[in-house]
Amino acid sequence: MLFEDNDFDINMAFFIPDVNFNREVDILSPMEGFLRGNMFKDEYEPYKNLTYFKLKPSNEKEMELYKIMALSFAINDLNLYLDLHPDNKEVLDLFKKYVMEEEELCRKYVKKYGPLEVCEVTGNKFNWVDSPWPWDGFGGSMYV
Amino acid sequence: MFKYVKHTNYPIEIKKKDLKMAKYLITQFGGANGELGAAMRYFSQKFSMPDDYGKALLNDIATEELGHSEMIASMVHQLTKNATVKELEEAGLGSMFADHGKGIYPTDASGVPFTVSYFAVTGDPLADLMEDMAAEQKARATYENLINLTDDEDVIRILLFLRQREIVHYNRFKDLFLYYKKKGY
């Protein structure tokens, strides 16, 4: 048999009884999902003995941004799942919850540190232009 | 329409200069299995998806991959920060510097420039999704090769994150492929 030992047999595509749009899913917390790069516990596949690294924020601003990034990650990963399972109420409710939490954290962050999106500009100066930009990383920009 | 958000998908804080790694890593920006190719492949394929599941999934994964392109470019930028011309030359980046200075230019690890032939669009949803599943597997394998080429934790942690995203995307494409196969597209 050509496909005997294969995990995924393309021929089986004809015999799938139905795509289960509401199967049970085990969803991780935003931070754990974020660290792993995968919100779905059963789908997580580590590489060799390397699992994932803990984040080490160097200050309060970074810590607050990481929390926003974790929620933003969770929202994105649930988004992809919901694209194929738009009627899954449980996942949709979780999605909405994380969206609300992210908006709240962003509001606080923007007030303290400046805009994450251009519409959030505050004060008398167009502070959207202010460094650091996401690619600057450690020690700020190359030119400033 | 796209909106820019002023943070990456995952933190990128690389402290150590590593020009050799930058030379290899650029392939995930401008190589055949790289993020730019993935973003543009799904972005182009979304127009011929037959229903809302396909339109939404291809659109949303394309958007995420565009963010990943920025992540890889940011990593290369940080790995080459403050490098002298002599150091670039010694790391085999002399020709790259001659053509592009210290700009971030999409090529593969051998310096071959990005090409649109990486998009692979057929207009057939089954062929395109099978292509996408293969693309995610190839990107996963490339990330594993790259992980084996470095021992810098600042780099490995990001590569592990991006590798895991390939697994998630593969699973979503596979779900959609099986559904379309059954629907008879």
A135, closest residue in chain B (CA to CA):
B74
Average pLDDT over residues B26-42: 98
- Give the per-residue SS3 of chain A: CCCCCCCCCHHHHHCCCCCCCCCCCCECCHHHHHHHCCCEHHHCCCECCECCCCCCCCCHHHHHHHHHHHHHHHHHHHHHHHHHCCCCHHHHHHHHHHHHHHHHHHHHHHHHHCCCCHHHCCCCCCHHHCCCCCCCCCCCCCCC
Q: What is the pLDDT of residue A25?
A: 83
CA–CA separation, B64 and B155 (whole Å): 20
Average pLDDT over residues B42-51: 98
Name the minimum distance, in Å, from the CA of B120 to any CA of chain A. 21
Least confident segment among A123-137, B65-79, B144-158: A123-137
Domain locations in chain A as residue ranges: 58-116
What predicted TM-score, i.e. pTM, was given to this entire model? 0.91
Contact B31, B109 (CB under 8 A): yes
Q: Give kind and range of the element (H or E) at residue B56.
A: helix B52-79
Average pLDDT over residues B71-76: 98
**Is there a contact between A137 and B178 if contact means CB atoms under 8 Å apart?**
no
Contact B55, B181 (CB under 8 A): no
Residues of B in contact with A50 (CB under 8 A): 147, 156, 160
How much is the ipTM here?
0.96
Looking at the predicted structure, is the pLDDT value of residue A125 above 60?
A: yes
**Is there a contact between A13 and B178 if contact means CB atoms under 8 Å apart?**
yes
Least confident segment among A22-26, A111-115, B9-13: A22-26
Length of chain B: 185
Contact A41, A26 (CB under 8 A): yes
- A80 confidence band (pLDDT: 50, 70, 90): very high
Q: What is the pLDDT of residue A15?
A: 43
Query: B19-183 is classed in which CATH architecture?
Result: Up-down Bundle (1.20)
* Between A81 and A4, the higher pLDDT residue: A81
Omega before A132 within 30 of 0, i.e. cis: yes
Q: What is the pLDDT of residue A8?
A: 47
**Is there a contact between B4 and A52 if contact means CB atoms under 8 Å apart?**
no
CA–CA separation, A57 and A64 (whole Å): 9
Q: What is the pLDDT of residue A56?
A: 87
Looking at the predicted structure, is the pLDDT value of residue A6 above 80?
A: no
Token reading at A131:
């460094």
Nearest to B181 among A13, A36, A134 (CB): A13
Q: What is the CA radius of gyration of chain B?
A: 17
Among B15, B158, B27, B68, which residue's Cα sits nearest to residue A137? B15
Q: Which amino acid is at A115?
A: P
Token reading at B35:
């993020």
Residues of A in contact with B179 (CB under 8 A): 19, 84
**Is there a contact between B10 and A72 if contact means CB atoms under 8 Å apart?**
no
CA–CA separation, B82 and B128 (whole Å): 42
- B86 confidence band (pLDDT: 50, 70, 90): very high
Average pLDDT over residues A60-73: 96
Best of A47, A50, A99, A143 to disrupt the B interface by mutation (most B CBs within 10 Å)?
A47
Average pLDDT over residues B96-101: 96
A65 touches chain B (CB under 8 A): yes
Token reading at B170:
């593969």
**Is there a contact between A83 and B53 if contact means CB atoms under 8 Å apart?**
yes
Phi-psi region of A43 (alpha: psi -120 to 50; beta: other; left: phi over 0): alpha
Looking at the predicted structure, is the pLDDT value of residue A5 above 60?
A: no
Residues of A in contact with B182 (CB under 8 A): 13-14, 16, 18-19
Nearest to B61 among A14, A80, A135 (CB): A80
Q: What is the pLDDT of residue A24?
A: 72
